[in-house]
Structure 1
Amino acid sequence: MKRILVVLLTISILSCNQNKKDENVKPEITENKDAIPVEPNGGIGDGALSISDHFIKSIEKAHKKEEFLRHKAVSFYIKIIFNGQEHLEGKVTMLTNSSKIRIDKKDESKLIYDGENVYLCPADANDKGARFDMFTWTYFFGLPYKLSDPGTKWEMQDDRTLNNVLHSTAKLTFEEGTGDAPDDWYVIYADPVAKSLQAAAYIVTYGSEGNTSKAESDPHAIHYKEFTAVDSIPFATKWEFYGWTSEKGMTDKLGEATISDITFLENEGALFDDPENSKIID
């Protein structure tokens, strides 16, 4: 009988010690190095990104925004055909933050934006659509890196079909006084898997002087295609332009652009200096 009591007492002591050890064991915490940072306060769910912020950050990550902005400038050759006619051909050079731009056209005329003014060189060159060309095509090229610029406003929308695949979409608008055309808007299409920017519907209100009814009645869309990597950063080398409606999506094809010779530069030199024999384009 004494042996039985001793055995039971020993089992009881061992069991208690084991329970104390279990109480001191903490769950292992693993760090997800690829997780998108969240706001410390003020987000949805005590720090989580809002749906629209997550949409933006996912696109920026897919297009490697941080790596892109580490470079000082980027240049590329562009050829644009619209409505069956050549609209623009030449070399574009821009700072990666879009604060300075230069376009050397095939006809040897130049457009230069030095951060304050747009210059046309030579002064007697054709200035039709000069300011539009200065900012529109570079904005399309840099769009994946412009989504969180100051003055941008976002509204998530229903998924839309592109190439028979449902894509997440969101509408981008701008605060008053933002850029040359704050009344413009874009509907951004993001790939459901890669999260890259695949297309954008848009209106062009530049020069409308506040009357946006014509632009609103005729939205267009750009479809980004044939991506290639330069320094591991993806770029679309073919753009296609279409009519667009909210109900049907892309309709008739209107034009296309080819992008080639994408090159990063680390020193701007005198590329964006005010040129001689030029005039300012308002």
Structure 2
Amino acid sequence: MKNLYLFIVVLILFTNCNEQPEKNKTQKQQISKELTWLQKTEKAHKKESFLAHDAIALDMTVNFGGNERLSGRMTFLTNSTKGKIELKDGTAIHFDGSKVFHSPDLKNEKAARFDAYTWMYFLLFPSKIGDEGTVLKDLGVLQLNDINYNAQHLSFKGNIGDAPDDWYVIYSNPETNLIDYAGYIVTANKSLEAAEADPHAIGYEDYKTIEGIPVPHSWKYYEWTKEKGLGKEIGFATLSNVEFLNTDDSTFNIPEGFVEK
């Protein structure tokens, strides 16, 4: 009888020892299946499908302070390496990598580099937040407009782009994982201290599905601070006639006589 009891005890201990590794393995598998914030956001914005397209084109009108800032047809490679903005007055801005070219009679030639990259970056933002050289920091849950958002701080490693000191605070919707807002600073032509004293935010609204990919057709710009949230609206942009297309060697050819900025 004692031998029987001893056998049962040994059997139980052996079984428990075998079950524990299996339990730990299952827990690790469950944890590994949980998506990160970046993965959830990129999945919601259909990043893979977006990048599978060659280029995106659209009409955009930007207004600030009650005045039209820019209006025209924009075409960008989805990988952001080339693009052009054909303004309604007949002038244009092109970029190829880090080089920017514009019509010799461009009205606001001082802002050529800013315009070449800024509107493209706001448009392609969901596909850019995971780029090499970006640094994401989890901010937990932040409230904006009485809604609790999943928030991340985005900054850049040195020597990335024209403005490596820029940073963003990204607010993703906890239900859809789409980006609703992004607070940001602009350091172009100003010091970091001056930029941080004048932060703003962009709000992405009116998401419409283009070939299965969500594209916000209404952007609004606000005064903003991380502590106080959104202030007054200072500008807006409207998008229309959005389409994905294929390009050829002539699509982004720099016209003769264009000035390099």
Please say whether Structure 1 and Structure 2 have the same fold, judged by a TM-score greater than 0.5: yes
Distance 2:248 2:44 in 1: 27
Name the SS for the 2:84 alignment partner.
strand
1:262 to 229, 242, 250: 242
Mapping of 1:136-147 within 5 angstroms? 136-147=118-129
More helix as a share of residues: 2
Mapping of 1:217-256 within 5 angstroms? 217-256=197-236
Q: Quick one: which amino acid aligns to residue 180 of structure 2?
A: Q
Alpha-carbon shift at residue 160 of structure 1 (Å): 1.8
* Greater Rg by CA: 1
The two structures have a TM-score, normalised by structure 1, of 0.79
Alpha-carbon shift at residue 47 of structure 1 (Å): 10
Partner of 1:124: 105
Q: Which moved more, 1:155-164 or 1:236-245?
A: 155-164
Partner of 1:170: 152
Partner of 2:70: 88
Give 5+ residue unaligned stretches, structure 1.
1-22, 24-44
* Residue 278 (1) aligns with residue 258 (2): yes
* Residue 74 (1) aligns with residue 63 (2): no
Give 5+ residue unaligned stretches, structure 2.
1-14, 16-27
Partner of 2:142: 160
Alpha-carbon shift at residue 116 of structure 1 (Å): 4.1
Distance 1:268 1:94 in 2: 13
8 Å Cα contact 2:154-2:169 kept in structure 1: yes
Alpha-carbon shift at residue 207 of structure 1 (Å): 1.9
Q: Quick one: which amino acid aligns to residue 61 of structure 1?
A: K
Q: Quick one: which amino acid aligns to residue 153 of structure 1?
A: V
8 Å Cα contact 2:83-2:95 kept in structure 1: yes
The two structures have a TM-score, normalised by structure 2, of 0.85
Alpha-carbon shift at residue 151 of structure 1 (Å): 0.6
Please tell me the root mean square deviation across aligned C-alpha atoms, in Å: 2.0
Once the two structures are superposed, what CA deviation does each residue of 1:105-137 show, in whole Å capped at 9, x if it has no partner? Answer: 01110101122411002x232203111011001
Over 3 Å counting, the alpha-carbon distance change for 1:199 and 1:274 in structure 2 is same
8 Å Cα contact 1:151-1:174 kept in structure 2: yes
* Residue 195 (1) aligns with residue 195 (2): no
Instruction: Give the ranges of 4+ consecutive aligned residues of structure 1 lying more than 6 Å apart after TM superposition.
Output: none
Name the SS for the 2:110 alignment partner.
coil
Partner of 1:40: none
How many residues align? The count is 234
